[in-house]
Structure 1
Amino acid sequence: MKNKLIALISILFLSISFQAYATEVIKIKHAKGDMTSIVREAIENAKEKDIQLVFEKGTYTFLLDYAMDRYCFITNHGNGLKKIIFRFEGFNSVAIDGNGSEFVFSGQVAPFQFDNCNNIEVKNLSIDWDIPFSFQGEVMAVNKEEGWRDIKPFTEGFSWSLKKGRITFPNINHFHFSEMGSTLAFDKETKAVAHGAWDMGSRPRWVEKRPNGILRFHEPLKHYPTVGTILHSKGPHEQNRYAPAFQVTNSSNANFKNVVVHHALGMGFLFERTSDINILNSGVYLKEGTNRVVSSIADATHFANCKGDILIEDCRFENMLDDGTNVHGTYVKVNKIIDKYTVRVGLGHFEQMGFEFAGEKDEVWLIHNPSPKRASVNEVSKVKYVNDKFTDLTFKNKIPSQLAEGDIIENKTWNPVFTMRGNTIRNHRARNIIIKTPKKIVIENNELSSMMSSILFRGETFFWYESGAVEDVLIRNNNFNYVAYSGAEHAIMYVTPRLAKTFDVTELYDKNIRFENNTIRTFDSRIIIADRVDGLKITGNKIIQDKSQGAALYPDAPIFDLINCNNVEISKNTYEGPTEYSIKADKKSSKNLKIKRNKGFKNLK
């Protein structure tokens, strides 16, 4: 191995001004076979804290046999012992240049982890798996009365087996999912989620082998897939998010350029407590010519408790099994008042366990039931971890007397300014964009199409416990084309806080949202649902109803639906299409509602 390492890697110790930060350059020559040990030893043997890995252009294979073992907490994924290929920890700067290379992984591995690193740069490479962690097949027949569906499974490039009436997949390195799990139908021609499709959890009573390579799944369903669609399964939720392709934690200045993820066993890009992030000319999408219908198993990009400036520009996100991006903080619940300065807080969702909610000198908001408003601010002076769920926070100042068990706390320090510009997001499950930060948000000049709502604002004080309320949002000059085509009811933009029963569900939550000069081409009626917004301006938008996209799923729904809102203006919008009524507002929303100079709209209902 030592001779092979010398043959494949030349390490140059350079102090050069034209390469930002890098003082130790590691050149990796292309070779066939497993490269895991090569890159692992190169990183571990680095003598400097500023390094650059430069790959000769080629296709590189990475297996899990010699990967690093490490127990990992990965937010919105499954915690546990992970096999890691590229692990960077404690570097001042890390640069990786793939020179157009393709990195192909096999089995349950975490490709890239960056922890406590500054000045990260990854460019000019793509990521894929030899065998996806998926099962998919074409729907050949359904029988709702008898409760079965016939599937012709894909075999080329997929791994599965049928034994004793049970499908197991992917059967790689002794791993298989316990059931079919999360299952969704895709259009055979476009590879987009099928029109009117519903998410379902599949657990057949038994699977029967039929002639001509057909499998009959005996399983009564509430919503049956359409014959001719491609049905895709990814295993149960508790097992199907192993790790993101790229995970960046406790770091700063992370830059990705010309980086494409064709498949991932979780999210494409995940950032936790990281500041200043750029994702440019990159993507999460299917490799050209593939027979697959799914790229990443979860979100294309995800940002949890980040700060500074986040920019996603000129990227392409397609065929993921979750959102294009999700930007949020984290609510923790007060579990116990320990003394006048200290509280014990608990994480709420099982996929948040082990997440670092706050550090010393972080400022936090204290939020008191029943109001969801951010109340007093305090500074954390000491953090004591109890276990992966509970943490003791000691504050600089006394906690207010009204703070009680069950109240929630939000991190004020770790919130980003977010810009998303010039991207294409389509053909995937869930939403294009979920956004929750009180700092400035700009979403402009994007091409957007989604199964659920294109843009969702949803702070949650239960279940996901994702904070928080937005305060400055500009959504302009985007093209929304074919949105909200799943079976469940959604809208182009959906503002819908989800608060626990202990909170006042009529109190205003989000504020200052401008939805301006967008073009919307839709088959259905709903454009915006806004709940508990203070300051919403909908102006200069062009709405075209296009029946060629498919049948309306909720034709009687209002175009704009306002619930418990204040200070709403709807002006200078145009609508082309049949209209029974366009705008619905409850008593509270109607009080300060301004409607003026719109074309093609009928009266307020």
Structure 2
Amino acid sequence: MHVLKNIFSGLIFLLFLLAGCKTANVVYLKDFGAMPDSRQNTAVAAAKLVQFLQSHKDAGPLTVHVPKGVYHFYETDALVREYYISNHDQDNPKKVGIELKQLKNITIDGNGSTFIFHGRMIPLAILHSRNITIKNISFDFELPALRQLNVLEANKNTGEVIAEIYPKANYQIKNNKLVVLGEGYEFEPSVAMAFNENKRLTYIRRDVGFSPRTVEEVRPDVLKISGWKEAAFTSPGERYVLRTYYRPTPGIFVSESKDITLHNVKVHYAEGMGMLAQMSENITLDSFAVALKGKDDPRYFTTQADATHFSACKGKIISRNGLYEGMADDAINVHGTYLRVVKIVNGHTLHARYMHPQAWGFKWGEAGDNVQFIESAKMELVGDNYTNKIKIIKPLDKPDDFGAREFEIVFEKPLPAQVSADGTYGLENLAWTPEVYFTNNIIRNNRARGALFSTPKKVVCSDNIFDHTHGTAILLCGDCNGWFETGACKDVEISNNTFINALTANYQFTNAVISIYPEIPDLKNQRKYFHSGIVIKDNKFDMFDRPVLYAKSTNGLRFENNTIVYNKEFAPFHWNKHLFFFEKVRNVVISNNKFQKILKPAEDVRIELSDSATIKIGNNQ
């Protein structure tokens, strides 16, 4: 009997193990009516799928299997939602292709499928969800808002350009002006990005204006553009990507979610950012791409703004093995948002407001969050190691924080005596600041800048290739005056990267290949340093110009074991003629670097508003 009992117990245990090894439940997109490689509206099937996921959200992990193919999504039958998306235009409502809301433990495997969208839509939104994985999917739009001119002829004497427009058709000439026709919208382009035939942005041609005297149609899809000053600078074969600065919709929107993974996901176009995450925790991008569709893609552009953007996130942001190219802004930007103090109610209570027109309407903080105060003109923290915790936060202009601009915040401790409502003080939420690991990525042929980091937590930017970023490759910023993007970096490692001819044009904050540039209107009277703890080591700089490193208001900066070599691809042009330019810095070390041209500190190092005794230069070759 005892033996039989043991055998029976063993069988029960084995069945338990087998049950535990059972694969996660799988559902199939085709079962909800989706038809691959047809032009039917997959938005209808996607809505049914999400409804099913909502009704089974407590059933355990689910994997959605998408048979490989091409799927189209149209505005007709798409979801209509009110979203407030950081660093985008806050126009509502917005159309959404797939909305994953209040879900958990979901994997969507596209198996190499392409989702093509029509009109102005957000392809994918992930809201108030946890443990969501999206993999093996490409997102694109059949008719992007951006248009491309392929220059066929350019007459520098008459100021005329003959160019073919791409994508073909979908335009009109009204009152001698070019009007772009989208699916359900139209606009007049006002600015352009200039590209060479090799898909790199044109040397020193940043943000080319597009306001010609007349545009005429020579024949279908071929235009004669007269009275355009760019005729004097262009040549046959160049491309001009026509655009505005409007950014209504990201490709992927993540908000108030946790443990989100995008694996082998590609965004080929979005009229805003490729991926925007806000107030979320732990986001992993593995082999994520904002990229062209291969070397034969006729497009030269991808997104209207940043490839990836993280606003007020926490936990860990990991971006590895990615490709970012052709976008009209940065590859990655990580920051929080300063609120400005607009009223002191009492010793514990104040009113504070979102200031930038593209950053408001989403949650800023919650009870228990740790906050610090900053004086905006000098970008100095208030008090010595002073922080305060939120006791109560409530919106003043909305029933809740959804869509709010202004908040009343009650703090646990008394407010600092010096904080006033005269418009010169900001609040930074330290609870919503992440660690960042940006590794083994390729960033190339994009406008503006490469990687931007503004967080006091650990940042590792390593083993990346920055190949012909049009502006600065890496920017450490911070601004409580214009963009209102927090905050001070305190632990940054920039290592084992390769920088190839960065800074072929000038943009905001682009003073060198690596630019440490907080926006400080009153730098002269600043007494406390903004950034600290920055190590730049073991990198290779392949350069045509001079400025390698610019740093402002930084205490603790090491530039070690780097190699600087030169090429003649372009003529030097930058206003900054120094390898190193320092303003208001201390505890700087430049050592054990290899310079193809011998470092001459008297010529190559410029120091302003700093004690030169705290800048140590030695053992360089």
Residue 474 of structure 2 is aligned to residue 455 of structure 1 = yes
Residue 448 of structure 2 is aligned to residue 430 of structure 1 = yes
- 2:486 and 2:27 map into 1 onto residues whose CA distance is 41
Residue 154 of structure 2 is aligned to residue 129 of structure 1 = no
| Secondary structure of 1:303 counterpart | strand
- 1:451 and 1:211 map into 2 onto residues whose CA distance is 34
| Secondary structure of 2:96 counterpart | strand
Equivalent of 2:301 in 294, 297, 302: 294
Letter in 1 for 2:577: A
Q: Mean alpha-carbon deviation: is it higher for 511-520 or for 400-409?
A: 400-409
Letter in 2 for 1:528: L
Distance apart, 1:400 and its partner CA: 2.3
Distance apart, 1:271 and its partner CA: 0.6
Residue 117 of structure 1 corresponds to: 129
Residue 196 of structure 2 is aligned to residue 187 of structure 1 = yes
Equivalent of 2:572 in 542, 546, 552: 552
CA contact (8 A) 2:160 2:231 kept: no
Q: Mean alpha-carbon deviation: is it higher for 260-269 or for 361-370?
A: 361-370
Residue 414 of structure 2 is aligned to residue 398 of structure 1 = yes
Residue 557 of structure 2 is aligned to residue 536 of structure 1 = yes
Rate the CA distance shift 1:30–1:18 in 2: closer, same or farther, 3 A: farther
TM-score, normalising length: structure 2: 0.88
Equivalent positions of 1:179-328 (< 5 A) are: 179-188=188-197, 190-210=198-218, 213-220=222-229, 224-225=233-234, 228-235=237-244, 237=245, 240-288=246-294, 289-328=296-335
| Secondary structure of 1:88 counterpart | strand
CA contact (8 A) 1:273 1:414 kept: yes
What's the % identity of the aligned pairs? Answer: 27
- 2:77 and 2:546 map into 1 onto residues whose CA distance is 54
| Secondary structure of 1:25 counterpart | strand
Equivalent positions of 1:7-156 (< 5 A) are: 17=20, 25-28=27-30, 30-31=35-36, 32=38, 33-46=40-53, 47-49=55-57, 51-79=62-90, 80-140=92-152, 148-156=159-167
Unaligned runs of 5+ in 1: 1-14, 600-605
CA contact (8 A) 1:106 1:131 kept: yes
Distance apart, 1:503 and its partner CA: 9.3
| Cα deviations by residue, 1:462-496 (Å, 9 ceiling, x for unpaired) | 11100001001111111111110115564110011
Letter in 2 for 1:574: K
CA contact (8 A) 1:275 1:306 kept: yes
- 1:128 and 1:395 map into 2 onto residues whose CA distance is 46
Distance apart, 1:269 and its partner CA: 1.0
Letter in 1 for 2:459: I
Residue 372 of structure 2 corresponds to: 365
| Secondary structure of 1:309 counterpart | strand
Q: Mean alpha-carbon deviation: is it higher for 272-281 or for 207-216?
A: 207-216
- 1:120 and 1:43 map into 2 onto residues whose CA distance is 13
Letter in 1 for 2:479: E
- 1:166 and 1:246 map into 2 onto residues whose CA distance is 33
- 2:94 and 2:464 map into 1 onto residues whose CA distance is 36
Letter in 2 for 1:460: D
| Secondary structure of 2:614 counterpart | coil
Unaligned runs of 5+ in 2: 1-17, 398-403
Equivalent positions of 1:481-496 (< 5 A) are: 481-487=500-506, 490-496=511-517
- 2:234 and 2:599 map into 1 onto residues whose CA distance is 31
Distance apart, 1:228 and its partner CA: 3.8
Distance apart, 1:209 and its partner CA: 3.6
| Secondary structure of 1:338 counterpart | strand
Residue 377 of structure 2 is aligned to residue 379 of structure 1 = no
CA contact (8 A) 1:153 1:215 kept: no
| Secondary structure of 2:610 counterpart | helix
- 2:548 and 2:179 map into 1 onto residues whose CA distance is 41
TM-score, normalising length: structure 1: 0.90
Residue 9 of structure 1 corresponds to: none
| Cα deviations by residue, 1:234-261 (Å, 9 ceiling, x for unpaired) | 22x2xx2121111100010011111011
Distance apart, 1:34 and its partner CA: 1.3
| Secondary structure of 1:99 counterpart | strand
Residue 614 of structure 2 corresponds to: 592
| Secondary structure of 1:414 counterpart | coil
Equivalent of 1:341 in 333, 336, 348: 348
Rate the CA distance shift 1:454–1:222 in 2: closer, same or farther, 3 A: farther
CA RMSD of aligned residues (A): 2.5
Q: Mean alpha-carbon deviation: is it higher for 24-33 or for 307-316?
A: 24-33
Equivalent of 2:180 in 169, 188, 212: 169
Rate the CA distance shift 1:386–1:24 in 2: closer, same or farther, 3 A: farther
| Secondary structure of 1:74 counterpart | coil
The alignment of Structure 1 onto Structure 2 pairs a total of residues equal to: 576
Distance apart, 1:187 and its partner CA: 1.0
| Secondary structure of 1:41 counterpart | helix
Rg larger for: 2
- 2:435 and 2:328 map into 1 onto residues whose CA distance is 26
Letter in 1 for 2:487: G
Residue 8 of structure 2 corresponds to: none
Residue 466 of structure 1 corresponds to: 485
